[in-house]
Chain A
């Protein structure tokens, strides 16, 4: 279970570029829940995931993972509990290192790294087996540098790597956005099967209404650094893409009346 309480994050405080990226966000995500994060560009989805992953520390608020307060833990310390796949396929793998070496790095996520050989025969057998299950023919290319692979292949491998050691929480930030539709579909199917198989607690950012409808058991919609809709249970099961689009429209309409104008209206009419 992950408990996010009153998280606030301001970027570039005190400068003309000041952005309130997370505005007092709170939510609790049950163990085994698969949450989809929606929202317009700049609404704070990535910032929320980064706050949970520890890319930066929030200005205030706390984050607890399975009862442990991780708010002040460094990113690399939290990595023991958290698996991540990024939007950019280049972000999740070390391009100049071989597929096998990348996998070997992932096998030891959160563990001590000493002077043992990174690649041993037993591991290689397991690598081949799991990579073969991707059906991408990559099991024959384990010694090749991973940077030579396509974006889809790299995302599939990153997904495998981030879940090799079962994470307490899986963070996916638009991990199919850089892929062509067909490849994106493949990676989504893989995501679904991995998440379902291990009942992984997952937070996934997407701009695809289709993915939001088909996947997960809960939708959080963010706007201006706040959670504006929280759809779960039966509501989530019956929701349609058109409903979600209507919500976006709703937000947009409210947006047209900017805050100062609405204050003025309130003064004059209420």
Chain B
């Protein structure tokens, strides 16, 4: 039971990462590898500030702001200096590795007995079991975030961002600075990803400089699973899908590990999975075409 609750909780925490990847990958078609640096950035800022005695809420908000800055910088590198998006992300991710080490002062920073958002959530009065309380609080928070994001993408600014990903030529002709929209969007995405890292650090009780490795593909996998379950559709549906995808993916992994999968294979299998999910539409299209030719 507690294993299930644990998997659900981590799935929900990482769904914030999935929502960030949803913004960069689905709204902007931008595979933003800054994620691997910014999830660790969020974790290290939150951990370092909490250890230094700051209250966990402020620490988490500052961690989010850090992610926003990181994403914005990737956006500026990409749009102002015309550097390929993937390369811009790689530059940022690499730079963040050193930044994160500096913030923590070492490669692993444990949170001992400090008060965290997680310990606060666990102490909520009316739910007796700590783990269940944490799960429910995070569920409520993620749901709120999803609703807020959904509403945001229906505002004038949000629709301009979506149009930037959908048809930049058109939206530029309607007076929108597409470079600014991409930069803002990447900032938002990485703020969410850093938030995910900040909460994850508080949940697992430490921040580690390696914790970001493979996280971008993990986020992509969640978004892709979510889209497959929901079957595409509106932004709102895709947001729900990304959250569900993250939780389901975490559950699948927990089950696989339980059944004896070697944890070392986890990232290989995740990568394979995303690869298959990405090429599947292409292959089916090709097969369909061939089918037509045969007729």
Is the CB–CB distance between A92 and B170 below 8 Å?
Answer: yes
Question: Among A92, A113, A161, which residue has its beta carbon within 8 angstroms of that of B176?
Answer: A113
Is the CB–CB distance between A93 and B167 below 8 Å?
Answer: yes
Question: Among B155, B158, B173, which residue has its beta carbon within 8 angstroms of that of A79?
Answer: B173
- In the complex the two chains form, what is the Cα distance from A74 to B180 in whole Å? 13
Answer whether residue A177 sits at the interface, using C-beta atoms and an 8 A cutoff. no
Is the CB–CB distance between B167 and A95 below 8 Å?
Answer: yes
> In this complex, what residue of B is CB-closest to A80?
B175
Is the CB–CB distance between B175 and A115 below 8 Å?
Answer: no
Is the CB–CB distance between A94 and B171 below 8 Å?
Answer: yes
* Residues 76-110 of A contacting B (Cβ, < 8 Å): 76-77, 79-80, 82-84, 86, 90-97, 101, 104-106, 108-110
Is the CB–CB distance between B166 and A115 below 8 Å?
Answer: no
With contacts A113-B160, A118-B159 known, is A53 near B173, CB below 8 A? Answer: yes
Answer whether residue B94 sits at the interface, using C-beta atoms and an 8 A cutoff. no
Answer whether residue B172 sits at the interface, using C-beta atoms and an 8 A cutoff. yes
Main secondary structure on A side of the interface with B:
loop
Answer whether residue B177 sits at the interface, using C-beta atoms and an 8 A cutoff. yes
Minimum C-beta distance from A46 to chain B (A) = 13
Minimum C-beta distance from A51 to chain B (A) = 14
Answer whether residue A119 sits at the interface, using C-beta atoms and an 8 A cutoff. yes
- In the complex the two chains form, what is the Cα distance from A53 to B163 in whole Å? 19
Is the CB–CB distance between A91 and B172 below 8 Å?
Answer: no
Is the CB–CB distance between A104 and B159 below 8 Å?
Answer: yes
- In the complex the two chains form, what is the Cα distance from A80 to B167 in whole Å? 18
> Chain B residues with Cβ under 8 A from A94's Cβ?
162-163, 166-167, 170-171
Answer whether residue A116 sits at the interface, using C-beta atoms and an 8 A cutoff. yes
> Chain A residues with Cβ under 8 A from B159's Cβ?
97, 101, 104-105, 113, 118
> In this complex, what residue of A is CB-closest to B168?
A94
- In the complex the two chains form, what is the Cα distance from A84 to B170 in whole Å? 9
Is the CB–CB distance between B176 and A97 below 8 Å?
Answer: no
Is the CB–CB distance between A116 and B155 below 8 Å?
Answer: yes
- In the complex the two chains form, what is the Cα distance from A203 to B265 in whole Å? 61
Is the CB–CB distance between A76 and B170 below 8 Å?
Answer: no
- In the complex the two chains form, what is the Cα distance from A269 to B178 in whole Å? 58
- In the complex the two chains form, what is the Cα distance from A82 to B170 in whole Å? 13
Is the CB–CB distance between B173 and A119 below 8 Å?
Answer: no
Q: Which of B162, B167, B170: most chain A CB closer than 10 A?
A: B170
Answer whether residue A114 sits at the interface, using C-beta atoms and an 8 A cutoff. yes
Answer whether residue B174 sits at the interface, using C-beta atoms and an 8 A cutoff. yes
> Chain B residues with Cβ under 8 A from A108's Cβ?
156, 174-175
Is the CB–CB distance between B155 and A114 below 8 Å?
Answer: yes
Minimum C-beta distance from A163 to chain B (A) = 12
Answer whether residue A111 sits at the interface, using C-beta atoms and an 8 A cutoff. yes
Answer whether residue B169 sits at the interface, using C-beta atoms and an 8 A cutoff. yes
Minimum C-beta distance from B89 to chain A (A) = 24
Is the CB–CB distance between A74 and B173 below 8 Å?
Answer: no
Minimum C-beta distance from B172 to chain A (A) = 5
Minimum C-beta distance from B9 to chain A (A) = 31
* Residues 135-172 of B contacting A (Cβ, < 8 Å): 152, 154-160, 162-163, 166-167, 169-172
Question: Among B152, B158, B172, which residue has its beta carbon within 8 angstroms of that of A76?
Answer: B172
> Chain B residues with Cβ under 8 A from A90's Cβ?
167
> Chain B residues with Cβ under 8 A from A96's Cβ?
162, 166
> In this complex, what residue of B is CB-closest to A86?
B169
Is the CB–CB distance between B167 and A119 below 8 Å?
Answer: no
With contacts A86-B169, A115-B157, A118-B154 known, is A76 near B163, CB below 8 A? Answer: no
* Residues 143-172 of A contacting B (Cβ, < 8 Å): 161-162
Minimum C-beta distance from A116 to chain B (A) = 5
Is the CB–CB distance between A74 and B166 below 8 Å?
Answer: no
Minimum C-beta distance from A55 to chain B (A) = 9
- In the complex the two chains form, what is the Cα distance from A74 to B172 in whole Å? 10
Question: Among B152, B169, B176, which residue has its beta carbon within 8 angstroms of that of A91?
Answer: B169
Is the CB–CB distance between A118 and B170 below 8 Å?
Answer: no
23 inter-chain pairs at a CB distance below 8 angstroms, sorted by A residue, are: A75-B172, A76-B175, A76-B177, A79-B174, A79-B175, A84-B173, A91-B167, A92-B170, A95-B167, A97-B159, A104-B159, A105-B160, A108-B174, A108-B175, A109-B175, A110-B174, A111-B175, A113-B176, A116-B155, A117-B156, A118-B156, A161-B174, A162-B173
Interface residues in chain B, defined as those with a beta carbon under 8 Å from any beta carbon in chain A: 152, 154-160, 162-163, 166-167, 169-178
Beyond the given A91-B169, A94-B163, A111-B175, could you list 15 further A-B residue pairs with CB under 8 A, ordered by the A residue number? A79-B174, A86-B169, A90-B167, A92-B170, A93-B170, A94-B162, A94-B166, A97-B163, A105-B171, A113-B157, A113-B159, A113-B176, A114-B155, A114-B156, A118-B156
Interface residues in chain A, defined as those with a beta carbon under 8 Å from any beta carbon in chain B: 53, 74-77, 79-80, 82-84, 86, 90-97, 101, 104-106, 108-111, 113-119, 161-162
The list of the 3 closest CB pairs from A to B, nearest first, reads A79-B175, A113-B156, A94-B166
